Amino acid sequence: MTVATAAWPGSRRDLAVVVVTGSESTGKTRLAGDLARHFGTTWVPEFARAYGDEQGARGHALDAGDVEPIARGHIEWANAAVADARRVLVLDTDLVSTAVYARHYYGQCPSWIEQAAVERRGDLYLLCDIDVPWLPDPHRDRPHLRAHLHREFVASLEALGARYVTVHGSWDARFASSVAAVGSHWPLRSESGESPNAD
């Protein structure tokens, strides 16, 4: 895959792309799903997790050779979801995460992925803070490096020139601040007809 073939489909221009991002065990998947339900749209699960589950079931430990298949999967899943989204498309991570973890685990990231992350940059990133308990699962292995990884995400988003908001606190606080952040950029309404910033 090249940067050219990694482009969004043309209909993406009608959508606001909101990416929930951050280091492991920060509630990204729950937040992405809840936001999509709130705004009556669709969301794209984290491809890397599904890919890791499939490879693990085959007895394969992920290595540097898996970075590009993961990136291609992220792109394919996100592009496929564009047609079903309404006004906003919510992503549970994107190529920014792929690049951060590739550099973290393997010391480098394929250049086409770095370039595609720029071309496919989301309209708003919700960066989940690490002020929640770390919960173990088969895909999480570095609780002692959460602060380091969080800084890597901040640095990557800033280098990308991305618009981002850090969400932190309790789950209710995270959800409320995320809804407000989306609503401050686009005049969206929830499926119930309430303004995203309604009290």
- pLDDT at position 57 is 85
How many domains are there within the chain? 1
Give the integer Cα–Cα distance in Å for 118 and 154. Answer: 15
Q: How many Cα atoms are found within 13 Å in the side-chain-facing hemisphere of 88?
A: 29
The residue range of the domain holding 35 is 17-185
Q: Is residue 35 part of a domain?
A: yes
CATH number at residue 88: 3.40.50.300
Q: Is residue 193 part of a domain?
A: no
Q: Is residue 100 part of a domain?
A: yes
- pLDDT at position 138 is 60
Cβ atoms of residues 29 and 46 within 8 Å:
yes
Q: Is residue 6 part of a domain?
A: no
pLDDT tens-digit series, residues 16-48: 999 999 998 899 999 999 999 999 999 999 999
Give the integer Cα–Cα distance in Å for 9 and 42. Answer: 16
Q: Is residue 59 part of a domain?
A: yes
Q: Residue 101: pLDDT band by 50, 70, 90 thresholds?
A: very high
- pLDDT at position 1 is 66
